[in-house]
Structure 1
Amino acid sequence: MASSTIGLTIPALPPNPTATYYNTNGQLQKPEPAPYTPNGGLGTNGTLPRYMVESNFDYESITLGLYQEWIELDLFNNGLATFTEADFIDAGLTSEDMELIRFMAVQETGHATLLTNMLGETAPPQCTYNYPYSTVREFLDFSQILTRFGESGVWGFINHLDSREVGQLLAQSIATEARQQMAFRQMSGLFPMPVWFETGIPQSWAWTYLAPYISTCPQNTTRLAWQNFPALHVVNQANINRFSPNDTANYERTGNRTSDPAISTLPENQSCQHLNVTGYGCGPAISRNRSEPLSFPGKKIELTWDAPGQAVGPNNSYVTTVSPVAGAPAFVAWVSQLNLTYTPLISTGASSGYTYQPDREVYKGDPAVNGTMFIALTDTDLFLTPFDLSMINPHVLGLGIFQAG
């Protein structure tokens, strides 16, 4: 899509020369522009707000967000149309829980309308999708994964938007999405909010996770400029449907995509779905404490990854790529909460290897690796923080979802 590209990477620079404010005494440092109005802030000078995108960055970011809202609207309705009330009852839910999901779909109509209005006449419409579930449990698991990367994708770019007005409205919608993700975790028998801070990821990461589930879009639908990375697969991913979630066979997922849910069609003596035992049951609940965690520090994580060049997304019209500056895979980057942590990759083949789950804390008592989170295969252990995480993209060779807890 690009008419021209300035370089292959964004150069690292020192702090912004305007970043000089420091308060040494807790008092106001400059005169107030009005009573009870401290000096500073953006969009506080009385100008009329304009709730429209203001740059290519804004346009492509909000368009990505709209693609996400459309699939959520379709997904929630699809789950209700695919499964009967008896199916939901077998999963430990009731018709009232189904109404909650139905209301979430209604919320998505509002979110899609909001983002469409901020984009204008070229906003993409709803597409058709393919889903990786065959049971209610798998539908719920996929929904909690999809809402996770949808929310995290917005947190990754919202404070980089040129339009503060757009960011304001987007924050008010994504706050609802966070509640949706928590509700789907509760319906899946997962602890609702196992982290102290929610993760932000770059737009190309969110698009990589989302695109494989879009089958077709109407002709002339606006294309996205973001990158699609190759898939990184966790061979021994924990299965939330097992009473012993780490006792999994290889690839206990419903398909071969990074965001696919865990299979739920297990023998009854291996499943936790109908197990009414504290610490091991995983039926719907406000909160669940599991005696055996989904993963743990020091666990050996087996990995495989796809080669670039695979067609993905609407009408298979996007292709997975890696940057020409990227070298051989050497590290696994763990992106969770406020932390970016690297562990060495031990290669076992041209597209396989393993690493070990790191033992890190955000702050004391808060394990950094927790919840539904993100991992990347990289060629270097570049130091980055939440605000500049997108600088990692030229070094990424594969992206995956990691189910921790």
Structure 2
Amino acid sequence: MSIKKIILWIILLVCICSGVVYSGLHRSMDTKLDITAVNDIAQSLAKNWDNIDQMQLTDLDYGMDYVVLDNDMKLVKATRRGLNEDINTAISNRDTIFDIKRNEEVLGKLIIYNDIQERWTRYRNYLFVFAEMVILFAALASLAYYLYIDRSIFQPFRRLKLFASHIAAGNLDVPMEMDERNIFGAFTESFDIMREELKKARESERMANQSKKELVASLSHDIKTPVASIMAVAEIMAAKSQDMMDQKQLNTIYSKAEQINTLIMNMFNATLEELQELKVNVTEQSSQVLYELIKKADYNDMVTYITKAECIVHMDELRLAQVIDNVISNSYKYAGTAIDVSVEINGEFLEVAFQDYGTGVNENELPLLCNKYYRAGNSQGKGGTGLGLYISKYLMNKMLGDILCENTEKGFRVKLKLLIT
């Protein structure tokens, strides 16, 4: 049942009750005296005056209360007790007084009791009861209306709230409860359709990620084969070569191929989108390891040591080699100048600074360099994915250190901070 129908039924019921009350009150408040009935009572009393003591007045009441007095104004008969039994009291109550005559002889007085005051009292009591009934009816109607509103509006909204909490929590398997009787049936159905579409989209995304991982895994086999061949050829050529320069370059090729092979294994065990899966095994090692890692990464022989320091630091040699290789490669790619390396102890950190003499980057871009996929303005025309510094920062943080980028008067500097034991 709709709200409009409920309101119409309530209005109709109130009108019917009001009509019944008005009709009853109109009849009860009719004070017009029935002259015919009064004459009949007077004539009957006159006719039976001599035997009035034995006469039953209830047979002649006509719905009226009255008192019979003799000529001495003494009470002869009354329809009930509590009526006005003398002329003065009757006059003050505005009772109607008639003479009881027989053959023009006045036998006594007939006093018709004026019950208007009692009627008004009954009317007030009746009105009070009616008001209580109306209030009770209104309360019951309000309760019924509230229950209807709660069932048809509030309960669906509470279910929507619970449904939204499931969606917000990522639980897309709980369907929306449908109820065709409430006014939001189509609305809730749309929400459930939305849930189904979100579930399909999530499944599609999961399958796409799975496909991506499978593609990366399949490429790993194809990439590792030529890398292994490069390592084998470089190793053979280095063993056969008699020239020291050639041996050095071949050893560099071999070490880089070996590093590529290790990175490929890590990359295909955990994709770049899932860096938390890249394991970092931090151990305590001498800072002398740094110089060997820098030497292997300097395939253009453009790195010069300015200062060195000796201490024990927290590091993962493989991951630190990856970071140093990325820093030096970036310098070669974007600056193309010599690189000065300074290593010094600053508080609880060993700081390794790589200073090139290029143009650097815009100051506004410095805070963004380590963001995923971000590439500075000087990278136009040069290959790259914007992941190198992002991965490097992640790895340095895992080694309890950090990486900082800054412009200097001479050019651009990248500083690696390693925690000292």
TM normalised by structure 2 equals 0.26
Higher helix proportion, which one?
Answer: 2
- Structure with greater Cα Rg: 2
TM normalised by structure 1 equals 0.27
Q: Which structure would you say has the larger RCO, counting Cα contacts within 8 Å and 6 or more residues apart? A: 1
